Structures are given as C-alpha cells and as structure tokens.
Structure 1
Amino acid sequence: MTLHLLFCSRFVVLVIVLGFHFSSICPAQWPDRHGPTLDGVAAAEDAQGLPTHWTFTDNVAWKTRLHDEGHSSPVISEGKIWLTAATTDGTKQFVIAIDEKTGEVLHDRVVFENKEVEPLGGAQGFNNYAAPSCVLAPGAVYVHFGSYGTAKLDAQTADVIWQRRDLKCQHFRGPGSSPVLVDNKLILTFDGVDQQYTVALDTATGETIWRTDRSTDYGDVGDDGRPLRDGDMRKAYCTPLVVKVGNQTQVLSVGARAMQSYEVETGREIWTLRHNSYNAGIRPLWLTDLKLVVINTGSRGAQHVAVKLDETTRGDITDSHVVWVREHGNPRFAMPIEQDGLIFQVTDNGVLSCVDAANGDEIRKLRLSGDYRASPILAGENLYFFNESGLGSVVQGNRDCETLAVNDVPEMATTACPAVSGGALFVRGKEFLFKIAVSSK
C-alpha cells in the first residue's frame, strides 16, 4: 500500500490509496462516478460541512435544467461538473459542462451523431443511450458511449482531441460500463451479445495499447449469440476496478458467467473466477486490510463473493480462493461501501444491510423506502442514499445504522450516483442537476 499526496486545486489531503498510480486523476474532487478512490468515499475536506437535511428550497444552492436523458453520474474537476445525455432514440449524444459554483451551463455540445442505432432490446425506460459516466484527468475529459464512440475532450473548451468509433459490440440492452483511468491508459469494457472484451487506449493518442477477449465458457449459449433468446447470458455492464496486488497492478472485471483479472500493462489474463449469473453491473469492492475483493455476480440470484488475493493468485481460482459467499439480499445496481470492516449495501427494493467484511455475516438490516439504482456514498461518518422517487436518506455508517434524516424531494429522483465536492452534494434528477449545500441564511 502506498501513501500519496493529492495536491488538489483547493487543498492538500493525505489519503491511503489502493496502491496503484492515481497520477492521472488525483487533482480532481470527484473524477470518477465512484469518487477519488473509486469506492464511493468522499475526501475528508470535500465532505466537511455536508448537509443532512434539505427540501425543495432549503439547502439547495442551485438547480440547472438538463435536456434529453441519461443515467451517467456527475463527475467534478477544476470547477466544472461533467455529465452526458442522449436523445431517446440515440441519434444524438451530448456532453454537458456546468459551473460548480453557479450552476451555469458552460458547454453543451453534440459529441456523436448516429444514423444507425441498436434498439434497447425491449428495455426502453430501463436503460438509455447515455449510461456510462465520464472520467476526468487534469485538463481532459473522457466520454464514452459504448460502441457508439469514445472521445477525449479538452477540459477548457470541450473540443474533441481524439475519438474512436471503431470499437464495436452488439449491446442488446444498451451500453453501461464506464471508462477507467490508470496512468496513461483508458480502460474500456465491451460485454455485448456477439463479443466480450476489454481494451486499453493510450490517453494521449487514443490508439489501442492492448485488447483481451474474455476467456469465459458460456456453456449453452449459442456461438452466434442470438439476442432474442440468449443475449442476456453474455451481457454485463460492470465498470472494472484497478487495484495493486503485491507488486502487480490488475484490472478486475466482472462479466457474465465469470470474472477475469488482467495485467494492466499488457492485458494478459492473470486469473478467472466462474459464477452462474449474468448482467453484472456492480464494480468490485476492494477491502485493503483483508486483501479481499468482493464481487457481485449479476441479476440472476445476485451473490456477493469475497475472494482472497495475493501476488501468487493465478489460473482458475473458483474452488481455491473464495472466502465467503452471501447468497441472498444483495443489490443488482448499487455498489456497496466499506467502512471500518463493515460493508453497507442497499438492494433494488430498498433493504439496507450492514455486513461483516471478514465473513459476510449480516449484522443489521433495515428498510429504506423506494427503489434504488444509484450507489450510495460515504461522507465522513454518514452514508447518503438517493432513490428513484427522490428520497434522500442519511444513515450513520456504523453497526447501528441509525437514520439521521429522510429528505423527500421528488425532483431529485435519480438513477445516477451522487457526487461530493467542496462541502456540497450534486444529484442528477431526471430534469435537473441539483447542488445541495448548507444555506448561508
């Protein structure tokens, strides 16, 4: 594990990171859909003074109207908030930049126009054509729309520096995996019906550094990947996690029927873990102290599987490295959060569980109203949950899970992860982006 100083534009904060180089993203306040350390945890300075109560007007600094639709989460750097949107039919895909202090729209432009658009496989309303989130580096914004295109933009002008439109797959129900930055590489995941692969692009040029196809045996799924019958059995939406195990940096990626670990420099497969589900959409959770990675297997009987990793881990580890399995009561969409050896998670229908990270045993369970697709965040000692009806709940991040506040603002109904910066929450509703901050009144 390595100590890094993060020299941000407004403060200096010492954090313990996962052990690989965050050099490409560390100046940002919330550079990735899951925050500065990719695990939903806000930096201490950004979390300071965060409100626990708000209404339609109280503690709302501003709200900015958005157009069209998107599941992408806001990301924040250098005073700008970035997100994407797309028309309902997918023919136009946009990037939007909003001033963090004022809510003013700074850039709103079409990045890609599509003459041919793949239908969403009968899932209209569940997914859309702007689901992957942006990822930020100093001076750069990386936008990704799956097989429709990937681009690097100038963070000041929003001009396109490079783009790729040749990385294809049949998404079947639309793209969902967000890009990941590590050193000079942009990692992209394509888990479609017809092909499933991970690719690393050079952040300076957009050229391919490596591409690795999944080695998964899909069993009874036909080789032609016929979408009408078996499409889901090859599909996944997972955003990978990059973590250092021993002296080796690995890309941990969960797909349908199996997950793989890849060497970040070459794309070589290091190990694989088989499972029986599909449509995996939750990023793996790395438990640093325990050297465990917790994966969610997907939508059919979603399991949480904790896997012990060390620098000797190789090959098929399904029968050798699993420490515990949580069979039931797991989410399909919202990423869990770890705090002081406890895992907190919320299911699609609002059941919050506190789980012992060492053995998977349930410690506490309570009901949060509504349905959840957005991942929670941890700010200081408090967990923040936002549901699809606009309910924002604040819960203590300890064994008691005491509910501190429940804030009902229907306009904040969301499917996107919230972001934290400068003592404020940023929530993408269906029509507006909100800044929630303690009022100066």
Structure 2
Amino acid sequence: VVRCFDAASGRPLWAFERPDKGTSWSSPLIWRNSVRTEVVCSGGDRLDALDPATGGVLWTVRRVKAATACSPCCDSERLYFGGSDPFSKGPLFAVKAGASGDVSPEKSNQKFAQCDWLSERQGPGMASPVSSGKYVYTNDNNILKCFDAATGERLYQTRIPGLDMLAASPLLIGDRLLLLDENGKGCLVNAGSEFQVVGRGSLPDTFWATPAVKDGAMYFRGVEGIYCVRK
C-alpha cells in the first residue's frame, strides 16, 4: 500500500493499494518531468506511476520478466527501470514523460507500447541505476554498464577493478560516479561514455547503503557507524 500524508499535519490524504500483492523493496520515486510530476512505485514484476495529488494511476507496466528490487531513476524526459533475479535477467527500459494507461508489453513481444527504448537482459540487480541525462549507468555483480540515455545503446561493460561485491547504488557527483563496495573500498569513475577510474579510497566498515552528498560533504552509513568525508 502506498500512502500520502500532509507534511504539516500528518493527516492522511490518500492510499493506493497495489493490485498485485508482490513484495516491494524500494522507496517511491518523485519524477518531476517535462510534462508533470509523478510518484513512481516499483515492486514484484510491475511499476505504477501515480498522481501525487490524488493517488490516481497515470500509467502501469506489468510483466517485466524479473523481480525489481531496485528503484528506477529518471531525468526530465525519461524514466529508466529494470530488474533481475537469480533465475531471470530482465530488460532495462525507458518510458517517456507523458505516458498514460496500461503500457505493459504483450506476452509475445517485450517491447512496450509507450516505451522509448528497451535493452534485453540488461536489467540491474540490487543497486539502482543512475542517469546523468546523457548516460544511464547500472551495476550488477560488480559489472558497471553505461548506456546512451536517448537510444539505450550499451556503450561499455566492464568489471570494476579493485572492488568486490557492491550493494550500494552508484552515486552521481557532478561529472563523477562514486562506487562503493561492501568492504568499504570505493572508486570515482568519469561519468562519460568511456570507463576511466580517476580516484580511489577506503573506509574501515561494511557498507550496504548508498552514500549521500550535501554541502560539499559525503556521508556513508556503515554497519558500525556513520562517516563524513569533506575536502
């Protein structure tokens, strides 16, 4: 169930009960696109976009072939989404701003009616994708992939040298991509069409949460503590 509350009073405003009783592991995403603002919720094998004022369904995608543990990512024109699980590798796809209704794929064709592009068997795993507007990046089992955001063309795929398994999502910081593995080893990668490591570091903890950036500082939540790194 997705619920909306008044931020000032805590008064409940609306609730949306997802028709399929699948499990959801990700937080809702506020998508402020070039057409409108949407609340996008993922879980199981479906995706629902809601009107933030009423909770009404704007569009829905069902039957995406694989479980969706990660959150979608977005820019002003497209929302990027996909999933995979130990038994099935799903697609990575983009939905254009302004979609409406049921945009699910036909059973015989994984292409969506209002899908901008689809890349088969490229869905991310636990870590959420990230978009720079020009490129989309995914990480699954320590393999970083870069896609053209406009076409879905895969520009590179590489195992990240020096890092182990990653649960945290990639974090975009300006023109750099921060990657942090479970053992506290991290690296900065150029956010371009070619893979290039430009920095490395480490912290003495175990990390599953995605780092955050605020006012020139980076924050890391580990199993044993919270860490702040400044220039």
Say how many residue pairs are matched: 220
1:149-182 CA-partner distances (Å, limit 9, x unpaired): xxxxxxxxxxxxxxxxxxxxxxxxxxxxxxxxxx
Bigger mean CA offset, 206-215 vs 275-284: 275-284
Residue number in structure 2 paired with 1:266 = 54
Question: Which residue in 2 is equivalent to 1:211?
Answer: 15
Are positions 1:403 and 2:197 aligned together?
yes
Query: So what's the TM-score if we normalise by structure 1?
Result: 0.47
Change (3 A) 1:244 1:380: closer
CA contact (8 A) 1:237 1:279 kept: no
The correspondence for 2:184, drawn from 380, 384, 390, is 390
Pairing 1:355–2:147 present: yes
Show the counterpart of 1:202: 6
What CA distance in whole angstroms lies between the structure 2 residues aligned with 1:253 and 1:306?
A: 15
Call closer, same or farther: CA 1:363–1:436 in 2, change over 3 Å: same
> In the alignment, is residue 287 of structure 1 matched against residue 79 of structure 2?
no
Number of the residue aligned with 1:251: 39
Partner residue in 1 for 2:165: 371
Please list, as runs of the form range in 1=range in 2, the aligned pairs for 1:33-432 lying within 5 A after superposition: 197-216=1-20, 234-245=22-33, 248-277=36-65, 279-288=67-76, 291-299=77-85, 300-310=88-98, 313-318=99-104, 319-347=112-140, 349-368=141-160, 369-409=163-203, 411-432=204-225
Task: Provide runs of 4+ in structure 1 moved above 4 Å.
Answer: none
In 2, distance between residues paired with 1:423 and 1:274? 40
Gaps of 5+ in 2: 105-111
> Greater RCO between the two (CA within 8 Å, min separation 6)?
1
Percent of counterpart pairs with the same letter?
24
Q: Which residue of 2 aligns with 1:148?
A: none
Q: Distance in 2 between matches of 1:376 and 1:435?
A: 18
Amino acid at match of 1:238: S
**SS at structure 1 position matched to 2:229:** strand
Aligned CA distance change for structure 1 residues 303 and 405 (closer, same or farther; 3 Å)? same
Q: Greater strand percent: which structure?
A: 2
RMSD: 2.1
Greater gyration radius: 1
Displacement of 1:356 in angstroms is: 0.8
Letter in 1 for 2:78: L
What CA distance in whole angstroms lies between the structure 2 residues aligned with 1:412 and 1:423?
Answer: 22
SS at match of 1:415: coil
Query: Structure 2 vs 1, CA of residues 433 and 246 (structure 1 numbering), >3 Å: closer, same or farther?
Result: closer
**Alpha-carbon distance in 2 for matches of 1:400, 1:377:** 17
Distance 1:315 1:277 in 2: 20
After TM superposition, give the deviation of residue 208 of structure 1 in Å: 1.4
Q: Provide structure 1 residue ranges, at least 5 long, that are not aligned to the other structure.
A: 1-196, 219-233
Deviation at 1:298, TM superposition (A): 4.8
